[in-house]
Amino acid sequence: MRALLQRVTCASVQVDERVIGAIDGGWTVLLGVGLADTDAIADRLAQRVANLRAFPDAQGRMNRSLLETGGAALVISQFTLYADTSHGRRPSFTEAAPGDRAAPLVERFIAGLRALGIEVATGEFGAHMVVDLTNDGPVTFLVAQE
């Protein structure tokens, strides 16, 4: 699994011009699922995202986790994180898990965050979404769990 984390002061997602998920601050998580991903990988990635120390402490250092700050997560499925752009001009998505395999793993990741007490808002799997966010820092990390 691959998670592109963006530290945000606020974020929201719309489907059909209707906001379906929003957070005030924390992580926007763009989540890609690969062919080899499993429940165990989703569980480990949820732990890593919740515990990654990338929020400022009293001295302004990146030293606090989402769990420590009480922040939220906006989780958006994004198969394009598995795009292969190394050949030609059109991306290939052969390493991305098909929807019927990816959707349950996205839900497993979300459940893992919620089990840790994190407030989670989500997009709609497979839908065309418009994501609006204010990147704080900017701070962005690509976290892969394999």
Contact 6, 35 (CB under 8 A): no
Collapsing DSSP states into helix, strand and coil, what is residue 74? strand
Query: Is-catalytic flag, 80?
Result: yes
Collapsing DSSP states into helix, strand and coil, what is residue 141? strand
Query: Is-catalytic flag, 79?
Result: yes
The one catalytic residue in 14, 28, 78, 122 is 78
Query: Is-catalytic flag, 78?
Result: yes
pTM of the model: 0.95
Tens-digit pLDDT profile for residues 9-59: 999 999 999 999 999 999 999 999 999 999 999 999 999 999 999 999 999
- Name the pLDDT band for 145 (thresholds 50, 70, 90): confident
